[in-house]
Amino acid sequence: MSSPRRRVIPEATIARLPIYQRCLLELEAGGRTKASSEQLAELAGVNGAKVRKDLSYFGTYGTRGVGYDVPHLLHEIRRELGMTHDWPCVIVGAGNLGTALAKFGGFTDRGFSVVAIMDVDESKVGQKVGALTIRHEDDLADVVAELDISIGIITTTAGAAQDVADQMVEVGIRSILNFAPATLDVPFGVLVRDVDVAIELQILAFHEERRVLSEAEIV
């Protein structure tokens, strides 16, 4: 089989694909069947050249003089992102945030479903969170095997996060979304993405602080 040039896709491009997907969904909902790179760029908040370059990594899906075919491009992006099938996820840490995420239905449209939620707290095990029943953390291996889970979501306290990550890796999970404010140490081949709201706020505060300083300087 002739190898279909599998180029290396820049991380920055990968991070933008879901945004393009979202914009294309909006266009599709609005009945649009064609869109130019500039229109897409406008919606995505980037510039046209970037859109064209990003999309060109995956093939030539546009038509010169016309633009991109919305449903077709959407299909291709979905395929690239692995959105053609469903991704079962497990949440570990059935606290404030874990239960909020579990109850949130918004990920289902994008191909993710929370199929299990676990905790160490015996008093929580057995309780219901939406349609799910909280199971004991010790059952992780069973749960992951039973439900064919490949993505783990950590919403425990920071202190427990590394332990939970170790257990996840142990049972074969190689993609982890971590909400705990902790730097996780995982073996090569395991991918961790951190979502840290406090850091985002601190970045805003840094700029806000500098803004105040610069303004004081001008005066």
Residues contributing to the site for ligand NAD (CB under 6 A): 92-98, 100-101, 104, 106, 119-121, 124, 137, 155-158, 160, 163-164, 179-181, 197
Contact 152, 158 (CB under 8 A): no
Please, which residue, 2 or 122, has the CB nearer to a second copy?
A: 2
Q: Which of 40, 70, 83, 92 binds a second copy (CB under 8 A)?
A: 83
Q: Which of 10, 22, 146, 172 binds a second copy (CB under 8 A)?
A: 22
Q: Residue 172, interface with a second copy (CB under 8 A)?
A: no
Question: How are beta strands 87-92 and 151-154 bridged, if at all?
Answer: parallel
Strand positions, DSSP E, the chain:
34-35, 62-63, 67-69, 87-92, 112-119, 128-129, 132-133, 135-136, 151-154, 175-178, 191-194
Give me the least distance between CB of 167 and ligand NAD, in Å please: 8
Q: How far apart are CA 49 and CA 37, in angstroms?
A: 8
Q: How far apart are CA 92 and CA 209, in angstroms?
A: 36
Q: Residue 48, interface with a second copy (CB under 8 A)?
A: no
Which stretches of the chain bind DNA, using CB under 7 A?
10-13, 36-38, 46-50, 52-53, 55-56, 60-68
Q: Which one of ligand NAD, DNA, a second copy, none interacts with residue 120, CB within 5 to 8 A by kind?
A: ligand NAD
**Residue owning tokens 């909020």:** 100
